[in-house]
Structure 1
Amino acid sequence: MQTRWRLIRRLLLILLLGCVLTLVSTRFILLAEEQTIRQRLHDDSRQIQYQLRHVMLNYTFATEWTARRLDTDDLSFSEQLDSEASSLFLFYPSLQRILVLDSEFNKRFERFRSEEQPLAKQNFANSALAQAATDMSQIPHAQSLLDEEFASSASDILVAMPFESASATHYLVIVVNIHKLIDQLIRQQITEGYQVAVKLNEQSIYRFAGNDDLRDEWLVERPLSFTTNRWTLELWPTPEKLSEMYSASAQLVFFGGLLLTAGGLVLGWRSLRLHKTVSEQQKEVKQLRKRLKNMHATEAKLVFLSDHDAQTELPNKNGLKNYLLQQLESTANEQHDLHLLVISIDSLRELNHALGHPVGDEIIQRIALRINKALPDAVYLARTTIDTFVAVQSAQEPGNSVDALARSIREAISPQLFIDDHEIYCSASIGIASAKDANYQLETLFHNADAALYNAKLQGYFGIEHYQPEERFELSERRERLHALRVALEKHELELNYQPIIQLRSHRAESVEGLLRWRTAQGDVIEPRQFLNLMEQTGLIFSLTEFVIRSACQQLKRWHQAGIEPLSMGLNFSLRQLTMPELPKLLEQHIKRAQLAPDDIQLDIDAAAFLQLCDHHHETLMQFKKLGVRLCVNLLGVSHQLLQAMRFCSPHAIKIAPELVADIPNEPVQTELVESIIRLAQNSHCQVIAVAVENHQQIDFLKQRNCYLAQGNLLATVLTAEQLGPLLQSPFSGSQPPLASL
């Protein structure tokens, strides 16, 4: 019931609104059309006014033209007028009479149309024309006026013009039948259906009308004037003409409105059924708009983040590149310079690990604000990595000192930061590169700035370094060395050499240590410390590590097949190699492929790397233990951290560093350290190996303390696999090194 009542109310409202709008629209259109009709009547009456004045000017011109052509001889002007009268009556149909009066206003000449009679009166000294003669002499043009003495009707007008003859002044006068003139004008200008009347002094002098029904409602009055003559024109339409002037718009609007009202009723009836569907769609549209708004916001954020850093809202590396590409082009064209300042926050990663990433993020945000405040408005600032900012300064204006800018940045960063309960001191190293030195090349500019930053970091905290052009040679040499290393890997110029670890009681080799060497095409042998660092900074370290593992496993397999057993293989790896996620897989893959036992492979680890693995890479050590490979730690001394690490992961062997072995038994401190390492190994049930044994005194010292594994040139030098293979079959005397050593 409620739904039905709602439907009835809606339909009634639609009906009421439809009728009201239809009536109002129809009335509005009718008013507009009435206004248009009245405007048209005004325009037509204005046209009559214009045409009347134009015709009267023609009569005036004819009077002036005729008067000025008359000769001064009395007989001559009579003959001329007599000959021209027929032409004037022909071309001017409303012309009724032509007269010439002398200076006393006596009639000297008269011509008239055939239907007219000559004037009985001969002297017109008392006429209106005689009274206006004075004004005519002052105005050198024909004048028009009313004068009943010359015309058969009081409404006719005179057009007069004085002219000079031989004896005196004469007046040329033409009489115009105004009724005939207006009738001719009306019939030419007004179409059928118009009613016209002309009044003179409130008296009708002309009427072209037969129906006065609409006179009071539609009458348009317009004054008709020429010089001193005044008439009133009245114009109105007949009912038939008025009907024609109305268009069908009002009827169309009326019936169209009724049709639309009927359509509205139908739509209103159907709208109730569609109301529920529309409501649901509106809800869906609202949800879609909300989702679209979120999508636009996300898109705008993504566009912003493509060129900006999310944390500091500074431009990122992509935004910096786009900016520099534009600046370098304009700077190169104008031959100006541009400086790139790379600002690296020292030890930020350590702060992140020590204090947590929230504190690290707060540090970055505050340092970004400090740097931004220290920079002039014209300097561009970006954040390219976690701990690196880049400032771009143009050197177009004189007095811009890049060193002063670098110092102001350093001073802005140096004050301590108070975050939560922490008081934090930060430092930054700044590398500066010039666009001119980089030949305005973007990548070269970045390389130069990185090289300068590297040198700045070598100075310690708050280092500032400019890129020096001579460093290009070093960079070029580094690139050449890197290229040569790639070629060496491809051409198998890298090889493993081996040095045996001797059992001092049996004088036989228990294991060998694989040592990487680079044998160049020129025959030079380069040790790893000269190139391993470079390979660790590139992707070559993975290929190199795989080569070492594969070569060592295959060589150990060949020795086992030759009957040299038991024999194990020791491999030296850096911390970078040990933390490679792929290393356990590589070891397992190549050990199985060579059909070796996992404990045939021993990983020699430096003490510092061992501590790092125990502190931060527990999972890597667990993978090594699970795989079954042996771990050997190279020690320079014993510390509390080392003891804690050995409790967490006990190694299988301990090597005494060459620096300690070199000074025994002569130096008491080194001797005491070696004895403590031997006791630690024995108490931990680990093998202990002395490295770099060079004399018999060292061998005697080691034997006295039950250290029976040694490695050094006294026992056997570093050899190739081909040179070492035959020697492994027999005991090593230790008296003379093999002659084929490297």
Structure 2
Amino acid sequence: MEAYPKQTTRLFKFLIILLLLVVLIESEGQLASVVMNIEHGTWHILLKMVLVLSACSLVYILFRKFKQLETAEREIRQIAYYDLLTGLPNRRYFMDSFTMKLNNLQQTNGSLMAVMFIDLDQFKWVNDSMGHEAGDLLLVEVVNRMKRCVRHKDFLARLGGDEFVLWLPDLEIAEDAQYVAKMIVETLNMPVYLQDREVRITPSIGICMYPEHGSDINVLMKNADMAMYHAKVNGGNSYQIYRPAMEKRVNNYFQIVSEFHKSLFRKEFELYYQPRIDFKTGRLESVEALIRWNHPERGLIMPMEFISIAEESNFILPLGEWILKEACRQNKMWQDRGFPAVRVAVNVSVKQLQQPDFARKLRDIMEETGMDPERLEIEMTESTLMTDTNQMLITFEELKKIGVYLSIDDFGTGYSSLSYLKRLAVHALKIDRSFIRDLPEDEDSVTITEMIIGLAHNLRLEVIAEGVETVQQHNFLLERGCKKAQGYLYSKPLTESQLAEMLGTSGLHFGPVIETEDVYVG
């Protein structure tokens, strides 16, 4: 990568020094012949000493200059080809090296290789909330961890920001690349301690194989990047192997992102409400607000098609604020019409809770709409608790002061500890539908569900089952002491007008009913 080969540089130095010595010796010989005619030989000796010392001084000066030149060359090369923060090769170095390697492989029908794109899912939040110094420390720690997952001959480079590329040469089978990706995901999932705070960072990784997925460097890089985006829009903290069908998905991603803000302005989003029932009385206990997108061309779009994209693009912040405000406004409207009191549950994303002013924004919404805080439930996923525990503790304390109800959604699918449940003082746990779905036949689902119900009772928390669709599931939960549930067995999600009509006619009793073949899409 130098401007000229090292061997040429050294030969050039040697020839210069040799030429100078020859000139000096020749000059000394000529001067010496003149001095021979001088009566006093002392002058000849002195002159010879001066010439030798001059030659030595000149050689020393030249060596120092050459040394400075070499140092400057190394510094220039370091800046040009390496990332100054992490010490990793940069994009330019990677592209040059990878291009050369690909050319050699194409000439020799080379071996199997993999290219990985690695992106950090929560890095922007660390930079924004904790400062760039913390972000730099996090990047260095991430690099150190990834280095422990790769071989000596593997090539890890930083493309910029929180994006990295990993080149795995000489693989035996494609599964070797998946094994490395899995190790990176696992090692980056371990907590990092920054500024006396526990932070969890997760990666999204895309894998592209040579020569199966391309033989040109630009194609390989594009496909690895596409696979990485596929992992990210599916929630991150995972790896994906490139598939040709991903291109359509990525194009859809960017199309949706481009339409988000216009859709919010045009009021294309709508809230549906799914009733929750009390097992003992069969009456409506509360409702969960579920977002829908009434697209003018594509029709009704379910949240599974756009929520993860909203998370990744940060559109979840204005959308989440709109959902909170709309749910509070509609609930206050039911209250003003004299309908029975009902609590509305709103799912709040980790990015919303990570905002230092989230509690203030919520308080402003409550004041603006006149909503009673006791009629609002904030739902968050279990993994949210471990994202930034210190900030979560602060936010939860502020939410408790406001007086809203707090619940943990999808409980049993994450990695929260009992100590956090106690410190955060939540009111309820929701059993994830993945455990309810296989009840009562699947033994593992039975065991996990019974453990969650028992844990909730021991911690004096309410427990809510979501996704109940069969009478057998209903009976199993009732027998185990689960007090509340929601699902298509009782009611599908209702529009605001449908729910208002139900509240207005006191149609608040729900028994197990099976009257639709719809599949839950909440």
Q: Normalized against structure 2, the TM-score is what?
A: 0.57
Of 83, 89, 93, the match for 1:309: 83
Summarize the alignment of residues 69-468 of structure 1 with structure 2, pairs less than 5 Å apart. Answer: 309-311=83-85, 344=117, 383-386=159-162, 388-389=164-165, 431=208, 447-451=222-226
Aligned residue in 2 for 1:550: 325
With 518-527 and 631-640 compared, the bigger mean Cα shift is at: 631-640
Bigger relative CO (Cα 8 Å, ≥ 6 apart): 2
Residue 499 of structure 1 corresponds to which residue in structure 2?
A: 274
Letter in 2 for 1:309: D
- The answer to whether 1:517 aligns with 2:288 is no
Are residue 590 (structure 1) and residue 365 (structure 2) matched?
yes
Q: Are 2:353 and 1:564 aligned?
A: no
Per-residue CA deviations over 1:460-489 (Å, capped at 9, x if unaligned) read: 99x997x77775444323322333444432
Secondary structure of the residue aligned to 2:341 is coil
Shift, 1:601, TM fit: 1.5
Q: For the residues of structure 2 that align with 1:366 and 1:656, how far apart are their CA atoms?
A: 37
Partner of residue 527, structure 1: 302
- How many Å apart are 1:705 and its aligned residue? 5.2
Change in 2 beyond 3 A, CA 1:433/1:628? farther
- CA RMSD, aligned part only? 5.5
Q: 1:632 aligns with which of 391, 399, 407?
A: 407
Correspondence for 1:710 among 467, 481, 485: 485
Distance of aligned partners of 1:699 and 1:347 in 2 relative to their CA distance in 1, 3 Å threshold: closer
Q: How does 1:54-65 map to 2 (within 5 A)?
A: none
Contact 1:613–1:620 at 8 Å: present in 2 too? no
Counterpart of 2:433? 658
* Correspondence for 2:510: 734
Judging changes above 3 Å, is the alpha-carbon distance between structure 1 residues 514 and 499 closer, same or farther for their aligned structure 2 residues? same
Deviation per CA, 1:377-409: give whole Å up to 9, x if none. Answer: xxx976424561589xxxxxxxxxx976999xx
1:685 counterpart SS class: coil
Q: Per-residue CA shift, 1:305-330, capped at 9, x if unaligned? A: 7996323566756x789x99xx9xxx
Q: Corresponding residue for 1:683?
A: 458
Q: Residues 658 and 448 (structure 1 numbering): CA distance in 2 closer, same or farther, change over 3 Å? A: closer
Say whether the 8 Å CA contact 2:206–2:224 is kept in structure 1.
no
Distance 1:349 1:320, change over 3 A: farther
8 A Cα contact 2:411 2:429, kept in partner? no
How far did residue 673 of structure 1 move? 4.3
TM-superposed CA distance for 1:578, in Å, is 3.5
**In structure 1, C-alpha distance between the alignment counterparts of 2:240 and 2:421, rounded to whole Å:** 42
Partner of 1:603 in structure 2? 378
Q: Is the 8 A contact 2:408 2:428 kept in 1?
A: yes
In structure 2, distance between residues paired with 1:499 and 1:490: 25
What is the one-letter code of the residue matched to 1:618?
L
Structure 2 vs 1, CA of residues 520 and 406 (structure 1 numbering), >3 Å: closer, same or farther? farther
* Residue 723 of structure 1, CA deviation: 0.8
Following superposition, the deviation at residue 597 of structure 1 comes to 2.7
With normalisation by structure 1, the TM-score equals 0.42
Q: Which amino acid aligns with 1:550?
A: K
> Percent identical across equivalent pairs?
26
Change (3 A) 1:682 1:548: same
Q: Which residue of 2 aligns with 1:537?
A: 312
CA gap of 1:307–1:512, structure 2 versus 1, over 3 A, is same
Alpha-carbon contact 2:346-2:377 (below 8 Å) kept: yes
Q: Secondary structure of 1:537's partner?
A: helix
Specify the structure having the higher radius of gyration (Cα). Answer: 1
Distance 1:650 1:404, change over 3 A: same
Distance 1:707 1:549 in 2: 28
Distance, in Å, in 1 between the alignment partners of 2:432 and 2:87 is 51
- Residue 732 of structure 1, CA deviation: 3.2
Report if the CA contact (8 A) 2:291-2:303 is conserved: yes
Q: Deviation digits for residues 661-707 of structure 1, max 9, x if unmatched?
A: 44555666645544443343333222222323345555555555554
SS of 1:310's partner is coil
The answer as to whether partners of 1:717 and 1:738 remain within 8 angstroms in 2 is no
Q: 1:632 deviation in Å? A: 1.0
CA–CA distance in structure 2, aligned partners of residues 564 and 601 of structure 1: 16
Distance 1:614 1:738, change over 3 A: farther
Question: 1:561-583: per-residue Cα shift (whole Å, max 9, x none)?
Answer: 11124221101234344434453
Is residue 311–residue 365 contact of structure 1 (8 Å, CA) maintained in 2?
Answer: no
